[in-house]
Structure 1
Amino acid sequence: MKLHISNTAGINLFTAYGEGYVAVNHEKHEQNLILLPDSLRPGWSTATVETLGEADMQTLLGLGVEIVLLGTGNRLRFPAGTLMRPFAPAGIGLEVMDLQAACRTYNILASEGRQVAAALLFDR
């Protein structure tokens, strides 16, 4: 039984992922990116989880979304707490998860019409 209408026409979605890549609307990407329902920002940062800086997080804070999904590569790794701290006072949820979980969660939230961004960091 279908419980809700899913209208995904015109929004960006992850259509595949695998070792070292994701596909957005069937286009393969192998570098860090930010995906929003209405835009794609490849190359948003060259950082890894360990080298994320304040400027990287400020970019995420300025996206105008209600939730940011930070995909940290093949495994879950948390950035420094000082980098995550500004999100709550700004009213923005920051969820840290592995890259594959971020893709799946993004697709669900974007399909529901939520203001969501997936910021993906690829393993190097």
Structure 2
Amino acid sequence: MKFQLDQPQGGNSISRHDGQHVWVNGRQHGASLLVPWRGEVQDWALARFDDLSEAHFEQILALKPELVIFGSGAKLRFARPALYRALIAARIGLETMDLGAACRTYNVLASEGRSVLAALLIEAA
């Protein structure tokens, strides 16, 4: 019998993903989003990987995470370091993964009480 909570109390938890949607705290999202360890999930105005800009990472910086898990969509793609220079300057770690791995890793880190943020790219089919 399991005696621990599936969702950290007061925190966000990703329960499901299917490539075109992500479910956070039971709510379905069909567009790119930012999932902080605590607080409101935010829309992330990013429709395609090729549209990534410094402004997208500055939006992340404003949330002051300790670590960012970037879910680059259905396949693993790395952003140019110049785009996330503000995170580097603020000593905020960035790890890039495909969407599924990013969701799983976020949940593990959030359950450990880490100040983690998932930046999840969901591209239109």
**2:91 alignment partner in structure 1:** 91
Aligned-residue sequence identity (percent) comes to: 41
Aligned to 1:80: 80
Match of 2:30 in 1: 30
Task: Name the aligned partner's letter for residue 87 of structure 2.
Answer: F
What residue is the counterpart of 1:123 in the other structure? 123
TM-score, normalised to structure 2, is: 0.86
The separation in 2 between residues aligned to 1:11 and 1:108, in whole angstroms, is 12
Equivalent residue pairs, number: 121
Residue 86 of structure 1: how far off its partner (Å)? 3.2
> Structure 1: which 5+ residue stretches go unaligned?
none
* Rounded Cα–Cα distance in structure 1 between residues aligned with 2:103 and 2:84: 20
Deviations 1:55-103 (A, max 9, x none): 1111112211110111111111111221133322311001111111111
Structure 2: stretches of 5+ with no match in the other structure: none
Amino acid at match of 1:59: Q
Q: 1:75 to 1:38 in 2, by over 3 A?
A: same
* TM-score w.r.t. length of structure 1: 0.87
Provide the C-alpha distance between the structure 2 equivalents of 1:107 and 1:101, rounded to a whole number of angstroms. Answer: 10
**CA RMSD after TM alignment:** 1.9
Q: Secondary structure at the match of 2:22?
A: strand
Distance 1:32 1:11 in 2: 19
Instruction: Give 1:14 shift.
Output: 0.3
Contact 1:31–1:42 (Cα < 8 Å) also in 2? no
Secondary structure in 2 matching 1:88 = helix
